[in-house]
């Protein structure tokens, strides 16, 4: 390790309300662009940041993971503090560590957990309205819970992918899928080894159809055999979706004990 290059891994939180999603693009301000500009301001380096995956416009993250290479002499575990001083308030680096030189935020990800939030009251909410969809009609939570069980396991989720998305396989393995209620909020939490484009939002929209009595809960299982998109429910609003955390198993740069070559800092919870 003769050079000064460090592969930096960041644990990133953002409020997606005012952004055109993670990925840098011509139409609208992306989180990637804002982060890369902040890094350049801090280090003078033009960097390319790699996230665990894109998030759509309006989608939030509590535990997005990003890596990039830097020759900056800022100590890795202090990088988060430094970059937060130049980032806007709606993007925060929770934690920064030096990762192994071959760590890759996207390719090393073994799993990902999302949460979809719905306010299920007549009036909706003012406080926190940015982070949930609003469904005024009373939802049948038990039916939604029953339907959410069907997602568990390896299935062909073709019906739960936005049309025209080019992918090799539409099979994904879901290892957590549950619906729970807290006061007037209903949450759908789902973890999988990967997600197709719009997959969580279509799963959430389908569960909402079930909750509204427009689809029988037992019907959901029949949609998991590579069916066409139009058989599943609608694509639920982006603002209800939050990327909660990534799972890298033993490759996690943030674990206690630190897999990173220079890890001086551990990050618990995203």
As annotated, the active-site residues are: 56
| Binding region for a copy of itself (CB under 8 A) | 13-15, 60, 62, 80-81, 84, 89-95, 121-129, 131, 183, 242, 269
- Which run of H or of E encompasses 34? helix 31-43
Q: Tokens for 79, please give them.
A: 């990088």
DSSP 225: B
- Name the one residue in this structure whose structure tokens are 């890890």: 263
Question: Shortest approach of a copy of itself to residue 141 CB, angstroms?
Answer: 17
Q: Where are the alpha helices (DSSP H) in 110-231?
A: 141-150, 199-211
Question: Shortest approach of a copy of itself to residue 68 CB, angstroms?
Answer: 18
- Between 32 and 206, CB nearer to a copy of itself: 32
| In contact, 161 and 167? CB cutoff 8 Å | yes
Question: Shortest approach of a copy of itself to residue 183 CB, angstroms?
Answer: 6
Question: Shortest approach of a copy of itself to residue 93 CB, angstroms?
Answer: 6
Q: Tokens for 73, please give them.
A: 């002499």
- Between 113 and 158, CB nearer to a copy of itself: 113
By C-alpha distance, which of 213, 254, 214, 248 is closest to 231?
214
Per DSSP, the three-state class of 72 is coil
Report the alpha-carbon distance of residue 55 to residue 243 in Å, rounded. 8
Alpha-carbon distances, residue 159 vs 34, 43, 140, 162, 218 (angstroms): 34, 45, 23, 8, 16
- Between 174 and 243, CB nearer to a copy of itself: 243
Question: Shortest approach of a copy of itself to residue 92 CB, angstroms?
Answer: 5
Handedness of CA 137, 140, 141, 147 (dihedral sign): negative
- Between 125 and 251, CB nearer to a copy of itself: 125
Report the alpha-carbon distance of residue 242 to residue 63 in Å, rounded. 9
- Between 27 and 182, CB nearer to a copy of itself: 182
């Amino acid at each position: 390790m003769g050079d000064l290059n460090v592969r930096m891994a960041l644990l990133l939180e953002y409020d997606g309300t005012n952004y055109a999603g993670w990925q840098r693009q011509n139409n609208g301000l992306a989180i990637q662009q804002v982060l890369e500009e902040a890094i350049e301001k801090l280090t003078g380096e033009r960097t390319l940041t790699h996230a665990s995956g894109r998030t759509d416009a309006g989608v939030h993250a509590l535990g997005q993971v990003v890596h990039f290479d830097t020759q900056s002499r800022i100590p890795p575990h202090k990088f988060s503090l430094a970059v937060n001083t130049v980032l806007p308030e709606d993007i925060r680096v929770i934690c920064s560590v030096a990762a192994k030189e071959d760590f890759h935020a996207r390719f090393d990800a073994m799993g990902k957990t999302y949460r979809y939030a719905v306010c299920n009251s007549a009036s909706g909410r003012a406080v926190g309205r940015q982070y949930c969809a609003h469904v005024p009609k009373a939802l049948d939570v038990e039916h939604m819970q029953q339907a959410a069980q069907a997602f568990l396991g390896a299935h062909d989720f073709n019906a739960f992918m936005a049309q025209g998305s080019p992918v090799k396989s539409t099979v994904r393995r879901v290892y957590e899928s549950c619906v729970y209620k807290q006061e007037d909020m209903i949450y759908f939490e789902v973890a999988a080894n990967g997600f197709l484009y719009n997959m969580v939002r279509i799963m959430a929209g389908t569960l909402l159809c079930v909750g509204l009595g427009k689809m029988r809960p037992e019907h959901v299982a029949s949609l998991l055999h590579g069916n066409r998109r139009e058989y599943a429910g609608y694509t639920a609003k982006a603002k209800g979706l939050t990327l909660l955390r990534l799972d890298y198993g033993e490759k996690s740069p943030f674990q206690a004990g630190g897999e990173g070559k220079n890890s001086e800092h551990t990050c618990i919870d995203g």
